[in-house]
Structure 1
Amino acid sequence: MKGRELAAVGFMTFALFLGAGNLIFPPLMAQQAGENWLSAIAGFLITAVGLPALTLIVLGKLPSIDRLTSALPTWMDRGFWILILTTIGPAFALPRAVTVAYEMGIKPFSSGDGLFLFSILFCALTLVLAIKPGKLINYIGRIMTPALIAMLGLLTVFALFNPLGSPSKATDIYQSAPVVNGLIQGYMTLDAIAAVVFGWVIINTIRTTSSQDKETSFRDTLIIVGIYAALMALCYLSMGYLGATSSNIAPNASNGGEILAAYAAGQFGAFGQILLASITLIACLTTTVGITTANAEYYKNTYGINVKLSAIVVTFLTATISNVGLETIIQVSLPVILILCPIAIALILSVIFIPKASEPKQRCASMGQTMVVLISGVFGTLDALNILGKLPDFVSDTATHYLPLFPDNMSWLMPSLVTMALVRITRQFMASKQPLFG
């Protein structure tokens, strides 16, 4: 790729990840972290930027995205992708993006309830941009993302040179362990699972735009991931500093949206409201386009379904669900996402730590990788039930005493790593014994 193309795809990658949720996470965390906000953000960057970047690099190394699950039984392979694309798509993330875009981008300037009309128009625009995935670089990488970066840059410059307050005293959890709590908050953005979904768009774009040479294509992938990581880290740092200095204008805020709204109004007045609305609308639109395109790409590659038909179904479901009670949809979908996130990360780690010796021409299920998925799924379910407050007290107390990282909602990690280590040791042992039986 040429320099401009690399920059455009890197910008597109950044914009796909930068939804409204990513903007409102860091300000609230940094406000609570107070004088320790930089330590908290450092931990946050490791999991909120590092994990997605690692996921994209691993996907870029595979011959095709679906090879991530090709060593699983067919039912598990297809089930994983359908669940992950549906929950991150029309069942959860897409309706949430539409609703947030309306609440922060339109509602402050209108009276009455205009969500129904807005959802139709917003999903129609998403459909128009998604049915031509080859144009995504032009739509997002060269047009929308530079505008988004410019507006975020304006907020950042004013936050640095004209802060509306100073960092306050950290809350208890951020006094004792700011980095650890930042790590947990970054993990809870669920961007690692979003990276698996966006991989369909990003890696396919790189391979259709880049050289056919695998080494050159992978080098381009590394550069693009580097651009994404740098831009996202700068965004999180600036939003974090903004939140850390917001205690005077938005004390005891319940969410990051309140902090951003108060800051924009306090810094720019009415123009600030328009600026924040524009940032939110563009951020949500790039996310909905990316997720819709990912769904369409998967169903085309796996089942041969026409891209336009898939995109129409996804956007229709999104517009419908956006208007039938998002809270109910979240209650149903969030447990599934919380379970799928550990599975997705475990799959990425298994590709690194227990890679297959070669890529078979025919599908060949791996007992080792299947065990990793099952173990991460079981303990991920335990974490999900704990997050949702559905575990009986005696189970929660027992798990707190005996399961590492259970209080941090990451009890799946150690069992998954132990399983991978055992699989690797077993493979090496069997390989060393092979000549005796060969």
Structure 2
Amino acid sequence: MNRNKEVLVTAFALFSLFFGAGNLILPPYLGFKSGEYWVLVAIGFSITAVLIPVLGIFAHAKLQGTMFDFAKKVSPVFSGIYCFVVYAIAISLPSPRTASVTHEMAIAPFFNTNALVTSSVYFILVFVFAINRNKILDLIGKFLTPLIGIILLSIIGVGLIASPFEVSQTLLKSPFSEGILEGYQTFDAIGAVVVGAVIVISLNLKNTKTYQEKKDLITKAGWVAGFGLIVIYAGLILSGSLFQSKFPLEATRTDVLIGLSKLTLGHIGSMVLSVLVALACFTTAVGIVTGTSDYVKGLFKGSQIAYVATAVIGCLIGILVGSYQVGFIIDIALPALMFIYPITIVLILLNILPEKYASKRVFRAVVFITFLFSIPDFLKHIIPLEKVQYLIDYIPLASYSLAWILPAVLMFVFLNVVNLKKDIVR
């Protein structure tokens, strides 16, 4: 395989591993609610759903290890706990959610089957792909992603041509920050540290690349995948905004996506959307189950039994949780995301920085302060707002669920200024 083709195949695989249930149902609904401020929403959404995940891929290109390497500068114990929490969240929420979305949007409209039946068949197929570990990159990158891309671009292209071009007023109080927070629901920052490791291990299995060659390949693939994601997200958000008048105000995420496909592709829209949903969701589930299994296999010194057992457990969890409705899974995911997402973002950003700006001391202090100031954001999603309002009132950006940002930045700047003064004194 020549160099450019390998970059494209890897980029396509990355795109598919990122582009799952949330990536499909969230942007059109955001566009529907954003109205005239769709550009602000698109920028905010792209920060957490594209920029941070792509930076996570760059960090993997630099580290070329496992997810454990992301947090080991804080401490090995913290890294172990962090990895357990992230993988537990990944196989318990975003992975099952892909089956739930597939049932609601691709199966239920055509077949009168139980959600448990759908999730069972779905995760049996996921297991088959996960067991054929060596072929995953090529199967997804060469075959599944191009089909996903063609369908998405068809919906967006026809939508832009056929839309009434009537942009209504926004339904959002804070378009930019709400775009950022909705990007959390894609799980893609978490996805970056999970599927980035899948890409690294896939390349290692081929055993044909030096460190620098793999770094260049993964970095270029990350840029291409990121560009593709921005184009698709912006297109879907704009389409949702242009067709806002076609939907009732109480429309749900799935209502908007299904309606948009019918408005753009006509009678075949439902069938085309079903294929798109099934493919997009499936590739993400495969990436999550494979990534989790890879990690556990590494903990057990390369044991294939550990790999298979983890894949079985991940698929069983997927079958059970995936039989619930999408809205329920999204609701229970939010508190967990408000807690783990800020830490993941900080770890990604610190890992791409040069060593002189991201020492162990900086890692520990910035991660700790991020954890501390994420607590109010976490609490207000599990207990009544009035009980934590006194905290929110005193923390900058807390009302936007971004209380951790300013303290983390200040801690990072402070420690690096202190280190710079020490170097000058020496």
Same fold (TM over 0.5): yes
Q: State the partner residue of 1:370.
A: 364
Q: CA deviation at 1:54?
A: 1.1
- CA shift in 2, pair 1:323/1:145, >3 Å: same
Q: State the partner residue of 1:160.
A: 160
- Which whole-Å CA distance do the structure 2 matches of 1:268 and 1:330 have between them? 28
* 1:204-219 matches, cutoff 5 A: 204-208=201-205, 212-219=209-216
Worse overlay, 420-429 or 309-318: 420-429
Q: 2:256 pairs with 250, 259, 271, which one?
A: 259
- Which whole-Å CA distance do the structure 1 matches of 2:90 and 2:211 have between them? 30
- Which whole-Å CA distance do the structure 2 matches of 1:341 and 1:128 have between them? 30
Q: 1:70 pairs with 69, 72, 91, which one?
A: 72
Q: State the partner residue of 1:279.
A: 276
- Which whole-Å CA distance do the structure 1 matches of 2:326 and 2:235 have between them? 30
- Which whole-Å CA distance do the structure 1 matches of 2:376 and 2:354 have between them? 25
Q: State the partner residue of 1:424.
A: 416
Q: 1:396 pairs with 370, 389, 410, which one?
A: 389
Give 3-state SS (helix, strand or coil) of 1:258's partner: helix
- Which whole-Å CA distance do the structure 2 matches of 1:122 and 1:274 have between them? 18
Does the aligned pair in 2 maintain the 1:246–1:259 contact within 8 Å?
no
* 1:122-201 matches, cutoff 5 A: 122-164=122-164, 166-171=166-171, 173=173, 178-201=175-198
Q: State the partner residue of 2:96.
A: 95
- CA shift in 2, pair 1:353/1:230, >3 Å: closer
Does the aligned pair in 2 maintain the 1:84–1:337 contact within 8 Å?
no
Worse overlay, 298-307 or 331-340: 331-340
Say whether residues 1:408 and 2:405 are aligned partners.
no
- CA shift in 2, pair 1:155/1:291, >3 Å: same
Q: CA deviation at 1:389?
A: 5.5
Amino acid at match of 2:277: T
Q: Deviations over 1:73-119 (max 9, x none)?
A: 33211110011011111x111221111111111001122x4222221
Say whether residues 1:55 and 2:56 are aligned partners.
yes
Q: State the partner residue of 2:199.
A: 202
Give 3-state SS (helix, strand or coil) of 1:248's partner: helix
Q: 2:241 pairs with 235, 244, 266, which one?
A: 244
Q: CA deviation at 1:315?
A: 0.8
Mark the runs of 5 or more structure 1 residues left unpaired by the alignment.
359-364
Say whether residues 1:320 and 2:320 are aligned partners.
yes
Give 3-state SS (helix, strand or coil) of 2:244's partner: coil
- CA shift in 2, pair 1:47/1:93, >3 Å: closer
Q: Deviations over 1:172-225 (max 9, x none)?
A: 63xxx6444433433453321221111111233345558533333222122101
Say whether residues 1:18 and 2:19 are aligned partners.
yes
Worse overlay, 29-38 or 11-20: 29-38
Q: CA deviation at 1:72?
A: 2.7
- Which whole-Å CA distance do the structure 2 matches of 1:236 and 1:326 have between them? 20
Matched pairs, number: 421
- CA shift in 2, pair 1:398/1:384, >3 Å: closer
- CA shift in 2, pair 1:120/1:189, >3 Å: closer
Amino acid at match of 2:147: A
Worse overlay, 215-224 or 251-260: 251-260
- Which whole-Å CA distance do the structure 2 matches of 1:416 and 1:377 have between them? 9
* 1:305-344 matches, cutoff 5 A: 305-306=303-304, 307-323=307-323, 333-344=333-344
Does the aligned pair in 2 maintain the 1:19–1:97 contact within 8 Å?
yes
Q: State the partner residue of 2:379.
A: 385
- CA shift in 2, pair 1:184/1:3, >3 Å: same
* 1:23-38 matches, cutoff 5 A: 23-38=24-39
Does the aligned pair in 2 maintain the 1:34–1:168 contact within 8 Å?
yes
Q: 1:224 pairs with 209, 217, 221, which one?
A: 221
- CA shift in 2, pair 1:243/1:212, >3 Å: same
Q: Deviations over 1:403-431 (max 9, x none)?
A: 12111111111112222223333444555
Does the aligned pair in 2 maintain the 1:97–1:284 contact within 8 Å?
yes
Mark the runs of 5 or more structure 2 residues left unpaired by the alignment.
none
Q: State the partner residue of 2:111.
A: 110
Amino acid at match of 2:132: K
- CA shift in 2, pair 1:334/1:276, >3 Å: same
Q: CA deviation at 1:253?
A: 4.5
Q: Deviations over 1:219-252 (max 9, x none)?
A: 2122101111111111112211220121232131
- Which whole-Å CA distance do the structure 1 matches of 2:55 and 2:9 have between them? 20
Worse overlay, 151-160 or 204-213: 204-213
Worse overlay, 324-333 or 60-69: 324-333
Q: CA deviation at 1:153?
A: 1.8
- CA shift in 2, pair 1:326/1:22, >3 Å: closer
TM-score for both structures, normalised by structure 2: 0.90
- CA shift in 2, pair 1:229/1:118, >3 Å: same
TM-score for both structures, normalised by structure 1: 0.88
